[in-house]
Chains A and B, each alone.
Chain A
């Protein structure tokens, strides 16, 4: 397969009144065409900010470190996203090579412009299609994502569609420019489970059909298990564990990943107690030194985990974990 995206040492801080806050700390991953990567974490873990960095979509007070490298490999050549500065340069990437689907589609469609006009507008900007061709493709895409009576829907506004329909329209719009990389930020979180299942099925079909790479951001490990090929688990701005979806979910190594799985209510085992992870996620202003999870970790080694930042340990087949514990303890249950 072809390498699509290379993220190296992504570090991102925000300048705020209360000082510099580290949002993403030394994050590296890569993605191939046709591959789906799940980016999992709780609120404040930096997963959305990481994804937005791939298009430099973060707020103006964002400061990227000098070591940060985000390379996008396209047929036309390689783009170093960090070196793009003007909005004209960014246009090749934003909405062109990379599209994004957001959590709340009501907030991402302009309320006073019809769905169709918004779809046509982006096609006119990013492709050399004329208005008529753009309209035709837009209606085709709406049909493709399972919206019935697409020609009528094309002229409607976001408020006239139900939540599930809006998210389908969002997906149709994101895919109509044939992006190489799709970033989906909690695309099913605001939907009911039966609708979520429909949208997940749809996205799986579309990956096969269009062959793009997807970064799927979610807090739901079940959604990841159903959609992703590989996973990166984030906590307080760092990746603590990454690997194939089977390895990470079946043989979690990091105490945080294990804790997340133990806290999850499972339908196949009603007797097992729910085990919460003690404490709360620390404020980004009070990032713990050493391992960021050390304040909540039940097996933290005093004087080590609270002092040294753990390095990645390779467990084979791309399964890596950032933890000080001895290997036997990481791989044992």
Chain B
């Protein structure tokens, strides 16, 4: 952890107990297992994975909204330092002002009975950040303008808005308490392509303007490639690869990352069927395979992969990968520049 790190997860595990049989050990879902990540202050950190990879749970754990089973999460800005595993209620209250969440579905996240002004003002009132109504209004107007919502919009109810506009309202609500750290969980997944680009550009410009740190959770590699400066790839609760965006896309090392990239449908109609396809599906997290979690689908799995779980290894250029065979695979399949 360097002094520039805003939030740092060390060997973080989140397990959920399942209601199992009366006798014998209770089964647990290992949603997140020993994940270590440092998110630098002012960075736009991407977290990629398919459904069931644990990316949402990890994001929630960083917000203290999922139970931390093992390991710890340290948040440290210029003013405070919190260990989220041991946080008292006063500290937690303060942490809520510093860390906020933007949801996926802009239709479900906004109360239909509140005006946009009240929706955006609610965090200020709940957290007691403003003393008078005038002060609240001023804060709301200021942040609304940043999210390109005008005064007329503030008087209306959410049903009058399109998906893209609603997502801008959600963003304004998350930002109004002036947080340092934002978790954006699939925040553009529900939007049409022409609108998605607009919201992505808005997030990026706000991040630069206000010096925020983002954890951007997404299943869409191409979106992450465009907006994030650092990317981590998760599979079945484990971190399999992490690197600066350029480095990752120029030379992916983990077979899963490579497969994810080649699974994205190419826009070139003559580039059909060349992609390397993955067989099978992601295993159930209640019954993960032994050894490397990806071995059931990996075309390169050998004996050691089936017995021993690979550790995250540093490979230079801030690039880390958890694969027994990454060196061999790099040599066998030179990645075109």
User: Which A residues are closer than 8 A to B by beta carbons?
Assistant: 42-43, 162-165, 192-198, 200-201, 204, 219-223, 225-226, 245-246, 249-250, 259-261, 263-267, 270, 273-278, 280-281
State the CA gap A206–B268 with chains docked (Å).
22
Instruction: Decide: A246 near B269, CB < 8 A? Known: A265-B222, A280-B164.
Output: yes
Instruction: Decide: A267 near B225, CB < 8 A? Known: A193-B50, A196-B263, A274-B200.
Output: yes
CB distance from B192 to the nearest CB of A (A): 4
B197 A275 Cβ-Cβ under 8 A: yes
CB distance from A2 to the nearest CB of B (A): 24
Does B162 make an interface contact (CB < 8 A)?
Answer: yes
Q: Please give me the residue from chain B that is nearest to A283 by CB atom.
A: B162
B267 A198 Cβ-Cβ under 8 A: no
B194 A162 Cβ-Cβ under 8 A: no
Does B219 make an interface contact (CB < 8 A)?
Answer: yes
The listed residue with most A CB atoms (<10 A of its CB), out of B268, B269, B275, is: B269
A162 B266 Cβ-Cβ under 8 A: no
CB-defined interface of B43-54 with A at 8 Å, one 1/0 digit per residue?
A: 000000011000
B226 A194 Cβ-Cβ under 8 A: no
Instruction: Decide: A192 near B50, CB < 8 A? Known: A267-B221, A267-B222.
Output: yes
Does B281 make an interface contact (CB < 8 A)?
Answer: yes
CB-defined interface of B277-296 with A at 8 Å, one 1/0 digit per residue?
A: 11101100000000000000
Q: State the interface size on chain B (CB cutoff 8 A).
A: 45
Q: Please give me the residue from chain A that is nearest to B193 by CB atom.
A: A263
- Name the B residues within 8 Å of A260 (CB-CB): 193-194
B193 A219 Cβ-Cβ under 8 A: yes
- Name the A residues within 8 Å of B220 (CB-CB): 265
Q: Please give me the residue from chain A that is nearest to B256 by CB atom.
A: A194
State the CA gap A281–B192 with chains docked (Å).
10
- Prevailing SS type, chain A contact patch: helix
Partner of B259, one of A194, A204, A221, A270: A194
State the CA gap A245–B266 with chains docked (Å).
13
Instruction: Decide: A263 near B50, CB < 8 A? Known: A201-B273, A280-B164.
Output: no
Number of residue pairs spanning A and B whose beta carbons lie under 8 angstroms apart: 122
A192 B51 Cβ-Cβ under 8 A: yes
A193 B264 Cβ-Cβ under 8 A: yes
CB-defined interface of B313-329 with A at 8 Å, one 1/0 digit per residue?
A: 00000000000000000
The listed residue with most B CB atoms (<10 A of its CB), out of A197, A265, A277, A281, is: A265
A267 B264 Cβ-Cβ under 8 A: yes
The listed residue with most A CB atoms (<10 A of its CB), out of B162, B194, B245, is: B194
- Name the B residues within 8 Å of A198 (CB-CB): 277-279
B268 A225 Cβ-Cβ under 8 A: yes
The listed residue with most A CB atoms (<10 A of its CB), out of B197, B261, B265, is: B265
In residues 182-209 of chain B, which contact A (Cβ within 8 Å)? 192-198, 200-201
- Name the A residues within 8 Å of B264 (CB-CB): 193, 222, 267
A270 B273 Cβ-Cβ under 8 A: no
Q: Please give me the residue from chain A that is nearest to B51 by CB atom.
A: A192
State the CA gap A265–B269 with chains docked (Å).
17
CB distance from A254 to the nearest CB of B (A): 13
CB distance from A155 to the nearest CB of B (A): 20
CB distance from B62 to the nearest CB of A (A): 23
In residues 226-281 of chain B, which contact A (Cβ within 8 Å)? 226, 245-246, 249, 259-270, 272-273, 275, 277-279, 281
- Name the B residues within 8 Å of A278 (CB-CB): 198
Partner of B219, one of A193, A220, A265: A193
Instruction: Decide: A263 near B259, CB < 8 A? Known: A222-B264, A222-B266, A280-B165.
Output: no
With A193-B50, A267-B249, A275-B197 known, 5 other A-B pairs at CB within 8 A are: A42-B194, A204-B273, A221-B267, A267-B261, A276-B198
B281 A162 Cβ-Cβ under 8 A: yes
- Name the A residues within 8 Å of B164 (CB-CB): 280
